[in-house]
Amino acid sequence: MGERALIKSLAKHKLSVLTLMEVLVRPKQVGDKQAVEDYRFVLKTFPNLALRPIDESCAERASDLRATYGVKPPDALQVGTALANDATGFVTNDGRLKRIRELEVMVLDDFVDGKTQT
């Protein structure tokens, strides 16, 4: 998959609220209140990006992923939320998630350092 496919997949991206928690940890640890506000602003206002709650449907999908692939609970919740919200792609930094077959998993490292395919 090339850069165009990655950009197209981000056109209507859905994130679980777990993403908000994950990105706020480090700025809070170092007391960077401005970074906390900046992350909140970007995740809540970025075009075509929607934070989704983790509900019963997401938990069911996450349990399927844990049972099938043995992925860690946070990863299962992230991907489960994507699936429950009809996502067809998932962008991550974790190449281990490529084994999930229910949607296309795109690893960011595959799109940097000359690895892109167009």
Rounded Cα gap, residues 3 and 107, in angstroms = 12
Model pTM score: 0.79
Highest mean pLDDT, choosing among 9-13, 16-20, 87-91? 16-20
What CATH superfamily is the domain 3-111? 5'-nuclease (3.40.50.1010)
Structure confidence at residue 47 (pLDDT): 82
Residue 66: burial class (beta carbons within 10 Å; 0-12, 13-18, 19+): middle
CB 98 within 8 A of CB 105: yes
User: Is the pLDDT confidence value at 3 over 70?
Assistant: no
User: Is the pLDDT confidence value at 97 over 60?
Assistant: yes
Mean pLDDT on 108-116: 71
Q: How is the chain split into domains, by residue range?
A: 3-111
Within a 10 A sphere around the Cβ of 87, how many other Cβ atoms? 20
Comparison of pLDDT for 46 and 59, the residue scoring more: 59
Nearest to 74 by CA among 59, 95, 56, 57: 59
